[in-house]
A = this chain, B = another copy of it.
């Protein structure tokens, strides 16, 4: 590292009571049960902007977890991401009380229609002056697919094929329909929009078709900042083509480094600069003014955590009902994408339900960093430098205490080390992350749908790009 990387931090959240650290809603200082009030989100947004966070990243799930014990009883009792409300409807209230905070919001391909989804994004990107990111999810649980009227989730790779098609149509609407100078708003000449600068798009893809004009005028970013979390081979190829922010899970910096290498290669394979993506690791931080205070806080949190809630969540992630195993019975498991390696890991560690419960008591696969400001900063720097990543999705344990502690204890230390911004960069969310303007770079696939000469592109072919 010739120069120290600035550490990016998103607040990781969800429009629900329980998110990652299950059971914590029972903590007396936790406010997550107020998730369905505007005051809760407005207060959070103000706190995060005070702490110069890059953004708030709001996860989502269409459906619910019904694997553990074969029902949703524990899901409901522990509020494990159920009930879960629509995340997009929170944005304008938070945007109204902030100026720079970004909003990385999850939308599931199978639950959206491209023509209206593109308008949703353009609307919010306009209202927020370009602060919108989209976390692209292809679908996660069968229960959601059944709610939407399907028999179940489509095949994994097919979901990505559909997502590719959804993105291509969206790019045409965002990048290709309205030229930058289409809106004149000239009162004297009585021209709001110059019709010569608005173009009809045509799309006949394998999953979607559309013809017509985008309903919204161009927003600051046009295409929102694109986040994704695919870890499979197909998922990484998708991320390489589309994503600008990528979330990975890693047990340690070395594992993160291996993932980051694969991701940056996938980005390069798609003809993009390998550093046109920022890579984020999910992390839980429990800081104290002293190490002792941090340790005591950690111990206090554990008193409220629900190990069974964490395990039920993990059951949903893996598709395995761990409740069927005896406490000390050996368990072989793996996720659908990496059965071999996960089984290997499980066997190496002689996994049992007792051990899984212990692992998932406070955060599961998310690393938990406990310590004073210097200790936490050391760890975060280690992740960034050894892991070749760019930042963190900071989970919430007790809301808003987790964020306030990070801001009051950790941020000043990181700033002293030259590792954290001391003020926001101007411009849209994309410019804040990459410093190269508000729009996607020309090397991104979406750019080929841009209008070059103002001609109507009512065809399926990309506009000719001069060499």
Complex interface: chain B residues within 8 A of A215 (CB):
62-64, 82-85, 147
In the complex, residue of chain B having the shortest beta-carbon distance to the beta carbon of A205: B149
Complex interface: chain B residues within 8 A of A17 (CB):
192
Q: Are B120 and A86 in contact (CB under 8 A)?
A: yes
Q: Are A148 and B92 in contact (CB under 8 A)?
A: no
Is the C-beta of A38 less than 8 angstroms from some C-beta in chain B?
yes
Complex interface: chain B residues within 8 A of A147 (CB):
115, 210-213, 215
Is the C-beta of A209 less than 8 angstroms from some C-beta in chain B?
yes
Q: Would you give the shortest CB distance from A133 to chain B, in whole angstroms?
A: 15
Q: Would you give the shortest CB distance from A144 to chain B, in whole angstroms?
A: 8
Q: Are B92 and A185 in contact (CB under 8 A)?
A: no
Q: Are A190 and B85 in contact (CB under 8 A)?
A: no
Is the C-beta of A42 less than 8 angstroms from some C-beta in chain B?
yes
Is the C-beta of A216 less than 8 angstroms from some C-beta in chain B?
yes
User: Which residues A4-44 have CB closer than 8 A to chain B?
Assistant: 15, 17-18, 23, 25-26, 28, 33, 36-38, 42
Digit string of A191-204 for contact with B (CB within 8 Å is 1, else 0)? 11111001000000
Complex interface: chain B residues within 8 A of A115 (CB):
62, 111, 147-149
State the main secondary structure of chain A at its contact with B.
Answer: mixed
Digit string of A62-106 for contact with B (CB within 8 Å is 1, else 0)? 111000000111001111001111101111110111000000000
Complex interface: chain B residues within 8 A of A111 (CB):
113, 115-116
Given A36-B217, A190-B78, A190-B306, check contact A122 B85 (CB 8 Å). Answer: yes
Q: Would you give the shortest CB distance from A391 to chain B, in whole angstroms?
A: 27
Q: Are B26 and A187 in contact (CB under 8 A)?
A: yes
Complex interface: chain B residues within 8 A of A28 (CB):
187
Is the C-beta of A354 less than 8 angstroms from some C-beta in chain B?
no
**What are 25 A-B contacts with C-beta separation under 8 Å?**
A26-B187, A37-B126, A62-B116, A62-B215, A64-B212, A76-B182, A76-B198, A78-B190, A79-B193, A82-B213, A84-B216, A85-B122, A85-B123, A89-B127, A91-B92, A93-B96, A96-B96, A111-B113, A111-B115, A115-B148, A144-B212, A146-B211, A147-B210, A147-B211, A147-B215
